[in-house]
Structure 1
Amino acid sequence: MAWIGSVVALAVAGCSDGGRDTTAPAVPIEVSAFASSSVSVHVMWRADPSVAVFEVYRGDTKVLDVTGGRHMVDVGGLTPGTSYSFFVRAKDKAGNVSPASTRVPATTLSVAQGERVPPTAPRDARGQARGKDGATLAWEAATDDVGVTAYDIWQGGVRVHSVTGDHTTAVVTGLRPGTEYHFTVTARDAADNKSPESNPVTVVTEQGTGNGRNTAPTGLRAIPRTAVDGTYVDLTWTPPDVDGTVASYEVYLDGQFLTTVMWGVAPPPGDVRYSLPLGDRPALGHVLKIRGQLPDGTWGVYSDDLVIAAAPAGS
């Protein structure tokens, strides 16, 4: 289906509400920074999950763009024993940029000459659900020839949180109800040497309202129409009940990924409406399905397949 590429370009070029988005996203909050080694600082923040990009600044210089729904990053290439300041700005898909967050200071660690030995693996890692959307993890401290400076928490091969080396507990938030998660913990020292992983920890979050296990959008409806610039399919669906915001959706046509629907600001309340452009191709007979990106960053279950049929008379 060679025409799919042109459909993606049309879909991505427009806004979900048919108009130009000029509203800047909210300022990131709860910004923090701590030196995770002699050459890096770990910066974390909280923000609207629909934000497309976070711009991280060291002093007045932008050093990183963070995408993919991540709310933390290591800023590397720093000088040992040096003071820095950091702030974060949010940028939405339309290119609108928020004001700067609060500036936070951090001083990189000094490193012992020739420190090359990584810490031991954290031992006896364990965890338990913290309500329907979080988990509390704990472990026995790792050892290092000089000292452990940070612990990193991993979920599904992705680092989801970090704490300083004097902590042996962490709280992971933004999870979804009634879901099984697998975590490991690693330790780092001032030279950024990384330990082996701890034993794996399995946590099942508590059930939320409406069970929380069904993460598929429901009630998908499609009405085809023809306009002067081509064929459109007007879609409507009900977001899944996942105790949080579903900020973006993937649309699949005949089993192939077509485009992503997302908002520069918070999604509109209630049912979702989106006009899907198909260029000069007919709409009837194609099969649609969608899935949403959940508050924990993972993708939910696909909706039921929907065959695009003729619009009802009088619609």
Structure 2
Amino acid sequence: MIATSVVFSLLSAAAYAQSTVSAVDIAAEQANFEQSLIVPDLLAEFNPTAVLAVTYDGSQATYGQNLTISQVASQPNITVTPESGASGFDSDATFTVAMVDPSYAGADQSAGQTRHWLTNNVKLIGSAAPYSLNYTTEAITAYGGPYPASGDGPHRYTILLLPQPENFTAPAGLDTPGVQISTFDFAEYVSSSGLEQPVAGFYYQVEQGVATVTPSATSAVVTSTLAAAVGATSSSAAASSAAASSAAVSGSSASHAASSKAASSSSHAASASAAATSAVNGASSSFGASLPGALVALVGAGVGIAFAL
């Protein structure tokens, strides 16, 4: 029975490991939004805890990929994979899915953004990630494929997954299905409706003709650099844990030394035999009391190091 339980636990752990994304995946998602200037053009900040896989007609798109109007004409299939330890991705969770076009990088956002898709009350499907999406109600704005103006540069079509709390209240004009594609203030919509900030996002680009505008400079994301940065952060955390462990051991040694000194001082005020007995007992008692604490701190730090690695 025990062996069966162990095997089941190992299999469950293996399945869980395969159904989560790494810190590097999350860092890449965040970096793509920042280096494409979606942050700050559309979002003031972006701190994802899950990754979206966006597939059009069986072909999975990649961040920033240049796609054609015909390739993205139909609503995509989307799956969600949270990072390890992320919360809020269970069967009780409710989300809003939006696809918004903030135009080309660095474009003036004062007139708002184009809403290409908006649907509330979205649920996750599946007992484990990657989760599919269940659109439980009719879309406020049904999916409408990109069609940027000719010469307007590469538009960044951004798909976002936003947690929808129980007190969510859609603003007037965007509270019933059938609203056509149009411009709106995305940040104001999120704020006024009570939606939380997006926990996952994806974007691709569509362009028509030769650009007559000059987009702001953007840069590509280098995954190897991200891996090194994430590794450095983990190493720093491990070093901090090791330092805490060293301090705990040093504190234990100091306590032992202090106890010995106290015992030595008391020997001058008592008989030689009583002083010797007192010193030995005092030192043993003090060291015995402080050592478990040091060992606990050391073991705790060791767990932290193993996790960071």
| TM-score, normalised relative to structure 1 | 0.24
Bigger-Rg structure (1/2): 2
More strand as a share of residues: 1
| TM-score, normalised relative to structure 2 | 0.25
